[in-house]
Amino acid sequence: MNYSFPITDNKLIESFIPQRNPIVMVDKLIEYSENKIIGGLQVSESNIFVENNILKEPGLIEHMVQTVALHTGFQFFLKNQKAPTGYIGSIKKINIERLPLVNEQITTEVTIIQEFLGVTLVEIVSRCNNEIISKGELKTVIAN
């Protein structure tokens, strides 16, 4: 199957992840490969994690986690299978340099470090305007 990137269709993006509105924190799939994904989010005033025109820490972290879920969900979509539900296994470290503002575009790159028996270890870098705003490592676990 060939897909043209970026994928920005909200219904299609939502089919790749288990989250539903108002907690959907990804709105585009920019790039995909077996070991990497780049996802995005346009920060809007209506986002439930926005306060005083700033996307708060839980929203940024949720965006990072959902970008990981986007990778898994798209991978299953390519196999014509339903996206699985997953959980955060652990957050090793998250370093937030600054929080994104309303109308800023977050671009998040997830690199798969290791994947074994439904447990995925990833490195994540989020940027706004090519400026790194956060980095982290986390493990996700697919529910059985």
pLDDT tens by residue, 2-42: 679 999 999 999 999 988 999 999 999 999 999 999 999 99
Both tokens of residue 94? Answer: 């998250």
pLDDT in tens, 55-113: 999 999 999 999 999 999 999 999 998 877 888 888 988 999 999 999 999 999 999 99
Can you give the CATH number for the domain in which 54 is found? 3.10.129.10
Structure tokens at 122: 């990833």
Domain that holds residue 31: 10-142
* 4 falls within a domain: no
The pLDDT, as a whole number, for residue 62 is 95
Classify the C-alpha dihedral 60-25-93-34 as positive or negative.
Answer: negative
Question: Does residue 5 lie within any of the structural domains?
Answer: no
Domain count, the chain: 1
Rg (CA), the chain: 14
